[in-house]
Structures are given as C-alpha cells and as structure tokens.
A and B are shown apart, each in its own frame.
Chain A
Amino acid sequence: MIDLLILVAVVLGIIAVSKLISILGTVSAVKGENSYNVTDKENRTQARLMPVFLIVYFAFIIWQVVSWGDRVLPVSASEHGAIIDELMNITWIIIIPVFIFTHILLFYFAWKYAYDKNRKAQFFAHSNKLEMVWTAIPALVLLILILYGLSIWNDVMEPVSADEEPIEIELYARQFDWTARYPGIDGKFGEASVRMIEGVNFLGLDSTDKESWDDKYVKAEFHLPVNRPVQFYMRAQDVIHSAYMPHFRAQMNCVPGMITRFNFIPTKTTAEMREITGDEEFNYYLLCNKICGAAHYNMKMEIIVESEEDFNKWLSEQNEFLAVEGNSKDNSSEELSVPESDSTQTINEEEEQLSLVEKVN
C-alpha cells in the first residue's frame, strides 16, 4: 500500500514540476521578465515567508515538546543521574533562550531588511566593541558550563572505594547477548579469559582458580539492590559493545582486550519506578549501544532493582559456576584443547588477565 502511495507521489511530483516550469516560463516570457531575476514582488513574498517560517518552526518544536515530552526518559534512577539531569536542565536553560533569540534576530532581520530600491544598505564593516561583546559573553557562559560540567564528570567517574561496600558485577558482552557475573560468597571474581572458553563455560572462567568456583552468572535479567553502590566491570568477547543503562544515566563501552568500568547507586526500585511512570510493565534495560553486528538492535537484558533482602534472596537462588552442568574443577579438557605451541602464550595471557582482575579488585 505505502509503496504504491510513494510511487504515486513521485510520479505526481515529476509531472507537477515539468508542468510548472513550462507554465512559469511562458508567464515570465509574456511579461518580459527573465526567469532568474527576483522581482520586487517575489522578494517581498520571500521576505514575508521568513517570519512565517519562524513561527511554523517554533510551533513545530512546541508541538513536539507537548506531544512527546513525556516519552523522554523518566527521572533518573541513580544518584549521579539526578545530578546529571540537573546539569542537563541548566544547559537547556542556557541553550533555549540563545536559540530563540538568535532565530528571532535571523528571521526578523531577513524580513525587515528585504530589498527596497529606495533604501540604501548601511555600510557597517566592523566594530571592535560589538565583536568583543560577543566573544566575551559566550566565553564566560561556556566557562561556567565547563567548570560545572567537569566537577560533575569527576564525581561520576570517581571509582567506588572499598569501604562503601559496593556490589561488584561483571557485564560480559558478546554477539548478541549479555551475561552478568557476580563474584559469589568469597567476594572475588575468578580469573577469566576468552582463551579458556570451552563448552558451557562460555565466559572463559578459569576452573583451576578457586575464586571462580563460587562465581554466579545470569542471562536475560540481573538484579541490583537499591541504594547500594554498584561497581561494574565490562568485558567483551568479540567486538566492541556498549553497556547502556539509560534509566541510570550510565554507559560504558565493552572493549575486547581491556576491562572498563562504571559505577552508580540505584535509587529507585523497579516497583517504585513503575509507580512513578504509571506503567505497570515498566522495566529497566541494559542495551547495547555500539554497533556490533546484525542483531545489535536486539541485544538486551532486563535489570531489576529491588530491596537488599529480595536481592540477596534472588542471588542465593542462582547457580554457582561449579553447579552449572558441564563445568568442573579440574581443567583437563581445557588443557587438552590448547595446542602445545600455544601454552606459553596462554600462560602469559592468564597472568596478564589475573593481574588485570587484581588491579580491578
């Protein structure tokens, strides 16, 4: 249906244009005008269209704000997110008047100073004073924005210290799904490397490392306790992905070969957010936000924020690494699969990975 409409539109467009040009050509030829010199009358018409356009443009923007304003992300569900939103609002408060002011000037001048053969344009080539003013004012405003923005940036990116007892989670990205890993009761992540991926052990956990034995990992959804700092470590298996949790104003790329991190404190449980948004089915999501292949648009995980009790209960119900069928303590199958020539490299790799994880912890 729609393709038919488009086809019709295109055909009509072409017909209209060729008709138009032949008509206009004859008209102006009859009037003895040429087809490129803008007549005074046409000039006035174009001039009048300037304020009309301005009004239409502003009206369109207002219409969008009114009809879509409630579709933008709801209030932030994290502590730092609230501060970021505040900075965002202040930035809007600065930007919008500048936008309105300059646009009014632009289209007002265009309309007001349309060609009039009885008037001379004013020869006004420069004014140091004016130029100083509009260099200095933006500079000052930007300076404030820069300083304010940077202080927030530094706060947000500050790692959580150990005394704040953060929950630690590793987000593992691969084409095309997410896995969240919790360190288990020992509070330490077992060592992992893509070179140890084998069978069901798709995270590449080192089964000879006893810190990995109690690690827990989940797919499809992961849980967070409310009001507790969460320290994320991001790891990618194949290409760059990006862990994007828009409701928490959180994003960090997952880059093969390195561990990146981000932290935040969730402040609203899923249930609270459902109330705030008035949407019974509301859920937090983790999205992939770096192009990673064909199913990039469908790489998701649900995030459930709940009370610490509920969280602990949920976590205790998850399987430990060793409890997952197919994983075992001894790593013989892994060793068998590594060709002789590669073993030294694998060991180096493991050491490197280990030290990385240690640094991170």
Chain B
Amino acid sequence: MSATHQDNDFLFKYIFSTDHKMIAKQFFLTGSIMGLIGMLMSTIFRLQLGYPGESFAFLEPILGSWAPDGVLTPDKYLALVTLHGTIMVFFLLTAGLSGTFSNLLIPLQLGARDMASGFMNMLSYWFFFLSSCVMIASIFVEGGPASGGWTIYPPLSALPEAIPGSGMGMTLWIISMALFIVSSLLGSLNYIVTVFNLRTKGMTMTRMPLTIWAFLITAVLGVLSFPVLFSAVLLLFFDRSFGTSFYLSDIYIAGQALEVDGGSPVLYEHLFWFLGHPEVYIILLPALGITSEVIATNSRKPIFGYRAMIGSILAIAFISFLVWGHHMFVTGMNPFLGAVFTFTTLLVAIPSAVKVFNYLTTLWKGNIKFTPAMLFAIGLVSTFITGGLTGIILGDSALDINVHDTYFVVGHFHIVMGLSGTFGMISGIYHWFPKMFGRMMDKNLGFLHFWTTIVAAYGVFFPMHFLGLAGVPRRYYANTEFPMFNEMYDINELITVFAIIAAVGQIFFIFNIFYSMFKGPKAPQNPWRSTTLEWTTPVEHLHGNWPGELPEVYRWAYDYSKVDENGDFVGGDDFTPQTVPLREGEEDLSH
C-alpha cells in the first residue's frame, strides 16, 4: 500500500491521519476533553445554585475576576451555563459521539477499507479541532464568552450592551459554530456516501447493523439541519456587525433607541429550532444505535424487531423536522401553529415507544452478560423512558405554558438527551475500546463507574422536576430573590451534592481509560463474541482494515443463539458471524 512510508511517520500517523480509526480516536479525545470541561463548568455553577452567595476560596485562583472573593458573579454564571450547554450538546454529544463511532464503525462494520474520502474526513476533524480551540479561546476574551444561553436568542446575543458576553465572546461563538458546522457537514456527507457506496459484498442495507442505520440517518439529519443553523447565525452575525436588522426591532438600550426596525427575534427562534430539535436526535440516534448493538450482543439474542427499529429511526428522523415549534409555544407564535406542533410532537412518542418495547423484548428470555457496556445500555433504556415520558407533558402546549423554561425542562432534557446520550457514548466506549486501542478496560472500575453514575445522575436530575413544578425558572443565578422559592434551598443543595458525586464518579472512567490504554490486557480477537465485521479485523490497527480480501457477508448481524431444527446452535456456538455462509435450508432474517 502506498501509505507504508506514512505509517512510520509520526506526523501523518497521529496528527494528519486520513485513517478513519485514528480520526475516530482524535474525535474521541478532543470530544471527551471538551466534555470534561463542560462537566467541570456545571459543577462550578451548581455550587453557586446549591450554596448561593457562599464563598468558595478555591474558585478564586481558578476563575479570577469571574469569582471575586470566591463567589461567582451573575453574568459569569450565565457564561458558564451557556458554554456548558454548548459544549455538551455540540462538542461532546454531536462531534464527540458521532465523530468517534461513525468514524470507527462505519467502515469496520460495513467491510470498507476506509471512508469514502479520507482527506475530507481529516478536514472534518481539523475543523472540529479549530472550532473547539475558538470556543475555548472565547473564555479568555474581554467581556467573557457568550452568555445568552446555548440557544443564543437575539437581541440578547446581538447587543453587547445587554450582557458583556455578547461582545467579542459572542463573535467567537459564531465563528466557532461556523467551523463546527463545516466539520459536521464534511463528516456527515462522508458517512452517507460511505454507507451507500462502500458496503462489502453481501452487505445489503437490511443486513447492516442498527448502529450503521442510526449513524446514516443521523448524518442525513445533520446535513439537512446544520445549514439552517448556519444561516441563522450568519444573519445574527450581520445584525451584530453590519447593522442589519433581521432579528431586531424597536429596541432601546443603554440610554438610546437603536436604529433597528422591522426584524423579528421570533424568526431567529424558528431557524434555530429547525436545527435545534433534530439536533436532539442527532445526539440520541447514535446512542440508541449503539445500545441496540450492545443489548443484542450481551443478551445473546437478536435485536427484536429489526425492521421496526429501522422504521422507528426513519419515523423519528422524519417527524423531528416537523416539531421545532414546541420550543416556542409561548413566544407569541400564532396559537394555531402551536396546536399543529403539539400534534406532531406527541406523534414522536409512538416510534419511541416502539423502540423501548423492542429493547425490553430483546432482554426477555435472553442470556444476559452484564459487561459495563451492557449496564450503561440498560441505564440508557431507563433514562430514555424516564425522560421521554416527561416529554409528553412538555409537548402538550396547554401544559407547557406553565412549565416552559423551568427546571422541569432542565430535568427532562438532561435525562432524555444528556443522560441517554452520554450513557450511549460511554457504553460504546466500554464496548469498542478493544477495537480502538487494542486493549481491554477494567470491568470492576466499570461497575463502580456505572453504579455511581446512574445513582448520582438521577439524584441530580430527578429532583429538578419538583423545582420546575414549583415554578423555579431555569437560567437563574440564585433562587434567593423570590420568597416563594425560599423553601427550595435544600433541594438545590441535594442536587449539588449529587452533581459533585457524579463528577467525582467520572474519575473511575477517566482513570480506567488512561490506565487501560497503556496497561490494559491485550484484547482478544472477539472479546464480546459478536457477529459483526469489526471483530474480524486484526487487533493491531492496519491501514485498510483487512490484511487480505475484504470479508464477504452472508447474513444479518443478529444471529445470536440461532438454533437448527434439532435445537442445537447453528454452527455450534451461540453466535454466528456475518461472514459465515447460510447453511442449507437456513432462513436469512435480513429480508
């Protein structure tokens, strides 16, 4: 292969690599570091919420003028919330999640030598890397980073007079997102083209593992929705820098009326949520895809209702473009539109319910191995149910009137998107770590990690529903100014304590990753006894993935515990890899 001389070259192997496996690792590391930063930010602002106004001396050296005398200031509180949301949604659970697993698994599970365009793939990573750098740099500019919430609604985000973070920090936020969108588009187009064109012989669309279906549809969602965000922030950029007024009208601020007329902030909200809602599924679908794979493998059973699973992915993706208005029930949008969006929103619950019941049936009469990956996958099913059900309340416009923008929402989306997304990602890391690094992670640390995480996570996010039902708004620096919230302080304190436990619990994970990366036992060929193609590649990474011919596929990916007419396992083992030809008279379940 022409790449041999490159393989010895550090720069091209580790930095400007065009190998999808290396790029996956790059996305994984960058995304995780961003995720870690996002998590630490949440711990800091949680301290303020749990102990409002109390001085934490250790904050001063870290945060400097953001926390004079160890007390976070209100506008920097908002800055941290904004960056936390932005980082978690985009950097950790969009780029980090899709970037890692789409890159790693699409070629490996389809039997391809690499992505359709390795160069575009490399560019995708480097745009993401730049985007991360710009976002982090925005923390240090004068006025601080963007502070208007991760949704950056104008006019707040358009006017530096309104909040200091809307100065240079906001400009950098926009630049960072523009780079991010480029990265996402390059990546997504590549994934789509690869899935359609580079499947190995015999890998029909209906023989693909559900992971690939999920990554494919996620990429399609990204391609259709991110450009809309791009236009939204571009117009915002014009409003900020060139005096246009797409989003601005009738504004008086800092002692003078601005020369803006005729724009509407509601337009921005429509554009933003046209991306914003599909974005939720850009996070969720890969997590659900990973879960399908992990649950089937570790239950030693085929995923139940493979076609229904594909159908529900497609249905969710389609509907997700028709529901954005559920974020805007009380924006002054025409109530009739609100009614339409309620209708479409509640429809999403149907394919979601199908997915849940299919997971449950897959577990039923399985033979379950509780690997750490499996534990997190089961955790995901729990969070997906818990958070999904409260969505039925928020999606109902009449009910949303009173819980919109309260902590009920914060509880809901953290459980359904934040926890499901991170659980899916973590599950994927435990499961495919051997494929990424050729070594195994430690199971006992994995168990500890799972149990502390799920207990602490519910401890953080479940109580938030009660705050929301008591009327506590989100994005409040403190709940001290309204007598009606006086009795909430112990709930807030409890949440903060759990948030600290959750953060500390991640040390098990981080430690496990770094320890296993260098010192873990060498991975065997197929540690989880899976059927899919990635476990047929050599443990040591190889440019082009398979040393000889590409493998040929004869069956779908879920022949676990398949028995013949005598009740014996087909092929003698409780799994039959996709590369094993169908026996005489054996039914192929892929059609």
Contacts and interface: CB of A to CB of B under 8 A. Distances in A.
B483 A123 contact: no
Interface stretch (B95-103, B115-123, B500-508): B500-508
A175 B558 CA distance: 58
Nearest to B439: A36
Contacts of B515: 21
B80 interface: no
A174 B257 CA distance: 13
Interface stretch (A49-57, A162-170, A213-221, A318-326): A49-57
Given A124-B301, A194-B251, A131 B308 contact: yes
A272 interface: no
Contacts of A231: none
Interface string A85-127: 0011001001100110011011001100111100111111111
Contact of A119 (B74, B306, B367, B481): B367
A293 B162 contact: yes
Interface string B228-252: 0000000000000000000011111
A36 B473 contact: no
A256 B300 CA distance: 58
B329 to A, nearest CB: 8
A32 interface: no
Nearest to A40: B369
Given A21-B445, A35-B440, A116 B367 contact: yes
A293 B261 contact: no
B365 interface: yes
A261 B332 CA distance: 7
Interface in A243-287: 244, 246-247, 249-253, 255-258, 260-261, 281-283, 285, 287
A198 to B, nearest CB: 10
A149 B396 contact: yes
Interface in B426-464: 440-445, 447-448, 451, 454-455, 458-459, 462-463
Contacts of A49: 451
B473 A244 contact: yes
A34 interface: yes
B396 A125 contact: no
Size bracket, chain B contacts: 35 or more
B561 A120 contact: yes
B566 to A, nearest CB: 12
A37 B529 CA distance: 11
A120 B300 CA distance: 9
Nearest to A156: B398
Nearest to B161: A238
A307 interface: no
Interface stretch (A7-15, A180-188, A308-316): A7-15
A84 interface: yes
Interface residues of A, number: 126
Nearest to B570: A123
A5 to B, nearest CB: 9
B197 interface: no
B236 to A, nearest CB: 14
Interface string A211-246: 000000000000000000000001001111010101
Given A9-B504, A18-B511, A294-B163, A95 B363 contact: no
A135 B253 CA distance: 53
A60 B265 contact: no
A73 interface: yes
Given A84-B398, A258-B266, A130 B361 contact: yes
A46 B357 CA distance: 22
Contacts of B266: 255, 258
B454 A255 contact: no
A224 B263 CA distance: 34
A295 B330 contact: no
Contacts of B458: 57, 60
Given A99-B385, A103-B382, A194-B252, 6 more contacts: A21-B511, A106-B381, A131-B354, A157-B338, A255-B265, A283-B484
8 contacts: A36-B521, A102-B385, A125-B304, A138-B350, A150-B339, A238-B251, A257-B249, A295-B74
Interface of A: 2-3, 6-7, 9-10, 13-14, 17-18, 20-21, 24-25, 34-38, 42-43, 46-47, 49-50, 53, 56-57, 60-61, 64, 68, 71-73, 81, 84, 87-88, 91, 94-95, 98-99, 102-103, 105-106, 109-110, 113-116, 119-127, 130-131, 134-135, 138-139, 142, 145-146, 149-150, 152-154, 156-157, 174-175, 193-195, 197, 204, 234, 237-240, 242, 244, 246-247, 249-253, 255-258, 260-261, 281-283, 285, 287-298, 300, 342, 345, 349
